[in-house]
Amino acid sequence: MSNAAQVATGTLHTIDAFESAFIGQRTVQVWLPAGYSNAVKYSVLYMHDGQMLYDASTTWNGQEWGVDEIAGRLQAEGRVRPFIVVSVFNGGELRYPEYLPQKPWEALSANQQTALNTGGRQSIVSEKSIRSDKYLKFLVKELKPYIDNKYSVLADRDNTFVAGSSMGGLISLYALGEYPDVFGGAACMSTHWPGSSRPEWTVITDEFMRYLKNTVPAPGNHKLYFDYGDQTLDAVYPPMQQYADRIMQDKGYDQSNWLTVFDKGAAHTEKAWRARLHQPLLFLFGNDL
């Protein structure tokens, strides 16, 4: 599998080994829309699982999000304000430790953490400490300053957003909660509320919900997008997302700053996320909102 992704529209800049004091080297890609100009100031969308976004011929499962096609089309049609996409490759075996929100994890007892570690891919947690706080420091303290300096972007909160799916949805929500002065909104697609490969194990889900309730920014200056399907792994999400939706309502969010989409029949795949990617992009960047 090569990192040399090709895009159908726009330009893709690849940094194969972006140096970080927090997470080591990481591949970063920056997508610029067609006609990108230094005379224009662009908003910025930071996305996780960067190796899955542009070119199915380079992904492990032959699927892609089609970010370039969808973001490019929406901008060409004038339906969204100009924005660029900064994507960070996941760290392979470090994906789970980097994407699992650290404060909810640390709120668990030692026995609960041990129980979550048993079996499946989550056993990696016992070997690699949860490091999502470090991952977010990399985004905010290293990557964002680099992007703000190198590209013609609007660096303020109202023009800086974060997005991801599954565990990437969790870390996007965590980014907004930890850095509400940096990120103006988050798109959390097929958010993996169970936090493990054992969906029936809900202890950490309870901590995620407590975190959402206690840290979601007050409505008015931020936007939150959620979605979910009901097939494959997404089949366990509906009651969890509905609980999160009640928290959003109780916090005073409304249709101007919060959107949850239920995609009936959709599975937990890049194909499904591609099919509805236009919705969070319109919600976060749309000119008609």
> Given a cut of 70, is residue 197 above it in pLDDT?
no
| Domain contains 237 | yes
Q: Are the beta carbons of 230 and 196 closer than 8 angstroms?
A: no
Q: Is residue 6 part of a domain?
A: no
Characterize 100-130 residue by residue with b for buried, 16 or more Cβ atoms within 10 angstroms of its Cβ, and e for exposed.
Answer: bbbbbbebbeeeebeebeeeeebeebeeeeb
**How many separate domains does the chain show?**
1
In a domain, 274, yes or no: yes
What pLDDT was estimated at residue 58? 75
What mean pLDDT comes out for the span 160-173? 98
What is the C-alpha to C-alpha distance for residues 159 and 161, in angstroms, rounded to an integer? 7
DSSP structure class, residue 218:
P
Residue 5 lies in a domain: no
Alpha carbon distance 90, 196 (integer Å): 17
> What's the rounded mean pLDDT across residues 91-119?
86
Q: What is the CATH number of the domain that holds 119?
A: 3.40.50.1820
User: Is 2 a member of any domain?
Assistant: no
Domain of residue 110: give its range.
Answer: 11-285
For residue 202, tell me if it sits in a domain.
yes
Percent of the chain whose pLDDT exceeds 90: 78
3-state class (DSSP) for residue 194: coil
Higher pLDDT, 214 or 201: 214
CA distance 241 to 8: 34
For residue range 228-251, list pLDDT tens digits in order: 999 999 999 999 999 999 999 999
d(CA 138, CA 23) in angstroms, rounded, equals 7
How confident is the model over 254-270, as a mean pLDDT?
A: 97
Q: Is 117 helix (H, G, I), strand (E, B) or coil?
A: helix
Average pLDDT estimate for 173-194: 98
Of 234 and 116, more confident: 234
On whether residue 1 sits in a domain, the answer given is no
With respect to residue 154, please indicate whether it lies within any of the assigned structural domains: yes
Do 67 and 54 contact (CB within 8 A), yes or no? yes
The pLDDT of residue 112:
82
CB atoms within 10 A of CB 144: 20
Could you read off the pLDDT of 41-67 as tens digits, one per residue? 999 999 999 998 997 577 667 767 889
